[in-house]
Amino acid sequence: MHISEGILSGPVLISGMAIAAAGTAIGLKKLRNEDIAKTGMLAASFFVASLIHIPIGPAGVHLILSGIVGLLLGWAAFPAILVALTLQATFFQHGGITTLGVNTVIMALPAVVCHYLFAPLIWKNKTISAIGAFGAGSIAIVLNAVIAGLALIYTDEGLFKAAALIMGAHLPVMIIEGIISIFCVAFLKKVQPALLPGFKSINN
């Protein structure tokens, strides 16, 4: 969920920037030089994944994958998402420059929360792992919609019902992202397990 330019009020924009700056600072501090290429590349794949469309009924949504990004990157999700959103804002004018802070918080904060909640479940048995993956995908979307909704409501109480509508519209997205996340994590466990957090190689 992006909020575009010209909707939010000054205080909301500034608080968004402050939280995004703090998150990004932590993310950058934890980001080692050897992870820069990987994080940049994952930011790029996050951007490209948003071009993938999935039909829901007659309409469609695009992939968000913020849960997966959170699982893979932890705090580095903040700078990665900031970068992906900057690219989106300059390339497609999705989101925007003044809303960059708020949008980064909307996407990255849930990603980090999901990392801490669900990363420990990934290497448990099959059922728990699937539950963890579903949780990461769907809870990320729920929090995403909640933060976006709060940003709208704090801007103007008149936006309350619009915010409620937007949050409601996220319900199907939440289920879809959860299911995609289950398959995606199962796939990564088979193909590139070292990518997932907490992977211990048999060799060492």
Partner 1 sequence: MINEPFAAGTSIIHKLGPRYRIVIAVLYAFIVAVSYQFPVLILSLCISAIMAVCAQLNFRALVQRLLLVNVFILFFWIVLPLTGGGDIQFYVGPLPVYKNGILMSARITLKSNAILLSLISLIATMPFSVAGQALHALKVSDKIVHLLLISYRYIFVLEQEYRRLITAARIRGFKAGNNIHTLKTVAYLAGMLLVRAVRRAERVHQAMLCRGFKGKYYCLASFKPSYGNWIFTTFMAIIIICLAVMEWGNI
Number of residues that bind partner 1 (CB under 8 A): 72
Q: Which of residues 15-44 bind partner 1 (CB under 8 A)?
A: 24, 28, 31, 33-34, 36-44
Q: Cα–Cα distance between 96 and 6 in angstroms, integer?
A: 9
Q: Looking at 80-88, 106-114, 119-127, 139-147, which segment touches partner 1 (CB under 8 A)?
A: 80-88
Interface with partner 1 (CB under 8 A), residue from 16, 47, 103, 135:
47
How far apart are alpha carbons 17 and 117 in whole angstroms? 25
Say which DSSP state 158 is in: G
Single-letter residue type at 74: G
Single out the segment in contact with partner 1 by CB under 8 A; choices: 9-17, 115-123, 124-132, 139-147: 9-17
| CA count, 13 A, side-chain hemisphere, 56 | 13
Looking only at residues 85 through 144 of this chain, which bind partner 1 when binding is defined by CB under 8 A? Answer: 86-87, 89-93, 96-98
Residue 33 CB burial class (10 angstroms; 0-12, 13-18, ≥19): exposed
Residue 181 binds to partner 1 (criterion: CB under 8 A): yes
Helix, strand or coil, per DSSP, at residue 98:
coil
Cα–Cα distance measured from residue 101 to residue 45, given in angstroms and rounded to the nearest whole number: 21
| Shortest reach from residue 70's CB to partner 1, in Å | 13
Residue 167 CB, shortest distance to partner 1, in Å, is 13
Position 59 contacts partner 1 (CB under 8 A): no
